[in-house]
Structure 1
Amino acid sequence: MKIAVIGGGAAGMMFSTQYKKANPNDEVFVFEKSQYVAWAGCPTPYYIADELSFNDVVLGTPEDFIKRGVNVKTLHKVTDIDFKNKTLNIEGNDINGIFEYDKLVIAVGAKSFVPNIDGYSENLENVFTLSHAEHAIKIKEYINDNKDKIKKAVVVGAGFIGLETAEAFNIKNLEVTVVEKADRIFPTVSENLKSEIYESIEKHGLTLKLNSGVNKIISENNIAKSVQLDNGENLDFDIALFSIGITPNIEFISSELKTENRKIIVNDKFETNLPDVYAIGDCIFNKFYHTDRNLYAPFGDVANKHGILLAKYLSGQNISWKGLLRSFATSFYDIKLAQTGLSLEEAQSLGYNAEKIEMRAMYKNSGFKDSFPIKTEIIYDKDKKVLLGGAMVGKEAVAQFIDQIAIVITLETPIEKFIEIDFAYSPTNASVWNPLLVTYRKVIK
């Protein structure tokens, strides 16, 4: 068996190593167009801020995987796929031309999406996107090489990467303006929970402009000077990041492959509509857990799960990918935000008899000077008495509490069973009242 994998990111490398381990006599070829494999996108803002090292972004070398029996080919670009004849057209040094395969795994990841903005060009020296380790290296090098000249930064897009990179620019002593076309950040999270993030943005001296789209970039000699907003305002800058969103790298793939909104459609075995063709990672649609709703979730942990499960399936195991709850966590300086499942508005719009529980959770005894309450909202179904979602903002343990909520949603654990969970407790490590226990007290009368 000869398996070709297009893309050497988290999904591609996880699949390749796990499959090769289970099937040592099969050949696995990974074609990666960049010079890096096993790179992680989520840590890149912290690499730019000098808080993480390069080894925290690129987690292995091609040689590391070659030693495990995986034929890794970096700087090899797949330009075309002939699905009928099972061949790839490849441009590279070791392989240049037609490559035959038995099964194909598409793990091409995604790239930053930049809309049709007047004056935008990939050739602008000081305008960047951030969806790959290569981009992070270029941004960091540009700042270091021009540290005496760079004073102002503009970040277009206030999503995860946008705000995290705005923090990185701020740490690098730049004057930062964040521009967001929508009227809020993190739209699925209630405004009540986000107040501390807005306060932290102001506290650290960043400017956040909501309801502000960019319609023009003004440049001179390939150096951008300013952006013009929809309202006519001009913002001068020395470096800019466009972090509006990402879209799968599938422009070279023919229309034979079924897609929706430029995401590849797969079933619960990661099979596409074409025989012997599979897709994993940031280029596919997942399902929102227990529903038929498509959900795009370009996260590193999700990509790794895809790789593990597909390797098991192609090794003969019976697996089924159930989907996701859209769990996420992010932070801005010391303020952390996490969410899983449905918001109250989403739950009600889907027909649930949903209600919200508000509380202040604690991750240690409230008497300690460094103990700060976590603002919490938990969504539950009043009829079935099960959780539907939750969101938290605080300084510690936010993601860990949200993980607990994700577990009981996934297992469909009735709220009445929460009293039976044996939570760990000590004044320095955990509150006596876990948020799930508080939920039990508020719901079960």
Structure 2
Amino acid sequence: MDMSAARDDGGAGGARERLVVIGGDAAGMSAASQARRMRGPDEWEIVAFERGHFTSYSACGIPYWVGGDVADRDELIARTPEEHRARGIDLRMRTEITEIDTARQRVRARDADTGAESWTAYDGLVVATGARPVRPDMPGADATGVHGVQTLDDGQALLDTLARTRGRRAVVVGAGYIGVEMAEAMINRGYEVTVVNRGSEPMSTLDPDMGRLVHRAMEGLGITMVDDAEVTKILTGDDGRVRAVATQDAEFPADVVILGIGVRPETTLAAAAGLPLGAHGGILTDLAMRVRGHENIWAGGDCVEVLDLVSGQERYIPLGTHANKHGQVIGTNAGGGYATFPGVVGTAVSKVCDLEIARTGLREKDARRAGLAFESVTVESTSRAGYYPGANPMTVKMLAERRTGRLLGVQIVGREGAAKRVDIAAVALTAGMTVDRMTALDLGYAPPFSPVWDPVLVAARKAARAVERHR
């Protein structure tokens, strides 16, 4: 089709300025909503495109919906398309943007149901295309019964498959956040679960010694852990459905396969349009979330790279917390205000059944890559005073820069009450505190909540001594 003759839906230079938003989830709709608050409909038209069936939902909640902890899909939806439209946003669902023409300031859209295409001009553009699950390039990766889980549509497709599947064997490929959370979801559904992981331990976002604690706990939950194993193909039956996952050394029977290998930034459109991409494949922006070299284009959410405040390097960290903040910054700036997103320290928490996992800052290999010399300490403690009922064990690992004592990172693995303690370290990292200074933090104490010395402060005290010995 000759798109030069296709309909151009108004645009730049018209009576009203137009903001076009690509992507209807956290970053995109936060940006659209904030821009609408900044400027009224008489002066600022906002058009948003979403290729799926849902908007403004919690992707992080999908494993808990699949596992049955969240009873209804709609509980994950913060705002429906109808609610966005009622707030003055022209939201077009099931419509995919297939091209960004930066020279003529327009985007090409395709209606997923009819195939009709049209151009829409813009004065300002927000790229919030999110991320896509990594699908291995191997035989059987697209077979019936193989699922990636990134969007609400993905979650619904998986549940539909489970409803049609008689067998109760699930294989999860990958053991990062998505992998371990989906392993829990399938355990909760009564499946026999095998996790195949190419790393030496699960949770590569942790150091291997902390990942080993996760490995042991997952095995204790009845999950079969297969580490140091690369999946080579997914085997199917005569009906085209998955029947097993194969590595170089073994086969693991499967009635459903879930890909938990991770995600990559969805930047196909951005790359084709010549927008700058970083080493991790994400779009590069300035502190105002404006795409570098493009005055009227912003980007946010899982398609961008962010500044690591600890290492000073660009990283790719796809999290809903960041995406919503990006959207607020973008909407404020697109609407004529001023806001910045200074960066992150890399805080994340997760769980597998009753095991809690948390990290912030740098791992050992991150610190080495950044050229930092460091001391590493590990302590065992409890979530409450040891004599108080319900005290649970936890392990805290802490990294501090040699000579200066600056906190570099913290990892925590434990039971109830462990994970959110990482927020203490996240604040300390953001403030640039030393581990010695951390030992004086005035944290809340009572036996039902903490030992006299909180586990994070015990680790800080041990790290401070290690730094002092090597000065």
TM range (shorter): over 0.9
Quote the Cα distance in structure 1 between the aligned partners of 2:239 and 2:222.
31
Quote the Cα distance in structure 1 between the aligned partners of 2:436 and 2:311.
24
Q: Deviations over 1:295-346 (max 9, x none)?
A: 1111111111111112222234443322221211111111111011112343
Match of 2:346 among 326, 341, 362: 326
Q: State how many pairs are aligned.
A: 440
Partner of 2:253: 236
Q: Deviations over 1:224-283 (max 9, x none)?
A: 22222123x222211111222212223244141122343212222212233311110001
Quote the Cα distance in structure 2 between the aligned partners of 1:435 and 1:361.
6
Q: Deviations over 1:376-435 (max 9, x none)?
A: 111112322221110111112333211110111111124444355332111112332124
SS at match of 1:50: coil
Quote the Cα distance in structure 1 between the aligned partners of 2:457 and 2:200.
35
SS at match of 1:185: coil
Partner of 2:133: 112
Quote the Cα distance in structure 1 between the aligned partners of 2:357 and 2:58.
21
Match of 1:203 among 211, 215, 220: 220
Match of 2:77 among 58, 83, 97: 58
Partner of 2:122: 101
Quote the Cα distance in structure 2 between the aligned partners of 1:345 and 1:113.
23
Q: Does 1:430 align with 2:450?
A: yes
Partner of 2:428: 408
Query: Deviation of residue 131 (structure 1)?
Result: 0.8
Match of 2:58 among 40, 51, 74: 40
Native 8 Å contact 1:14 1:307 kept in 2: yes
Quote the Cα distance in structure 2 between the aligned partners of 1:119 and 1:195.
30
Q: Does 1:397 align with 2:413?
A: no
What does 1:320-359 align with in structure 2 at a 5 Å threshold? 320-359=340-379
Query: Deviation of residue 288 (structure 1)?
Result: 1.4
Q: Deviations over 1:340-395 (max 9, x none)?
A: 11123432453333112322343322112311121111111232222111011111
Native 8 Å contact 1:111 1:249 kept in 2: yes
Q: Does 1:227 align with 2:254?
A: no
Match of 1:280 among 281, 300, 315: 300
What does 1:111-130 align with in structure 2 at a 5 Å threshold? 111-121=132-142, 124-130=143-149
Q: Deviations over 1:192-233 (max 9, x none)?
A: 3334322222222221111211222222333122222123x2
Unaligned runs of 5+ in 2: 1-16
SS at match of 2:447: coil
Unaligned runs of 5+ in 1: none
Native 8 Å contact 1:226 1:236 kept in 2: yes
Native 8 Å contact 1:268 1:322 kept in 2: yes
Identity of aligned residues (%): 25
* Distance change in 2, residues 1:170/1:435 (3 Å): closer
Q: Does 1:186 align with 2:203?
A: yes
Match of 1:9 among 25, 28, 37: 25
Quote the Cα distance in structure 2 between the aligned partners of 1:182 and 1:440.
29
Native 8 Å contact 1:58 1:133 kept in 2: no
Native 8 Å contact 1:218 1:225 kept in 2: yes
Q: TM-score, structure 2 length as denominator?
A: 0.88
Quote the Cα distance in structure 1 between the aligned partners of 2:155 and 2:399.
37
Aligned-residue Cα RMSD (Å) equals 2.1
SS at match of 1:189: coil
Native 8 Å contact 1:285 1:295 kept in 2: yes
SS at match of 2:268: coil
Query: Deviation of residue 290 (structure 1)?
Result: 5.0
Query: Deviation of residue 96 (structure 1)?
Result: 4.6
Q: TM-score, structure 1 length as denominator?
A: 0.93
* Distance change in 2, residues 1:288/1:139 (3 Å): same
SS at match of 1:282: coil
* Distance change in 2, residues 1:203/1:415 (3 Å): closer
Q: Structure 2 counterpart of 1:63, which letter?
A: E
Partner of 1:154: 171
Partner of 1:363: 383
Q: Structure 2 counterpart of 1:155, which letter?
A: V
Q: Deviations over 1:124-168 (max 9, x none)?
A: 32111111111111111221233xx12211111111111111111
Quote the Cα distance in structure 2 between the aligned partners of 1:278 and 1:160.
28
SS at match of 1:167: helix
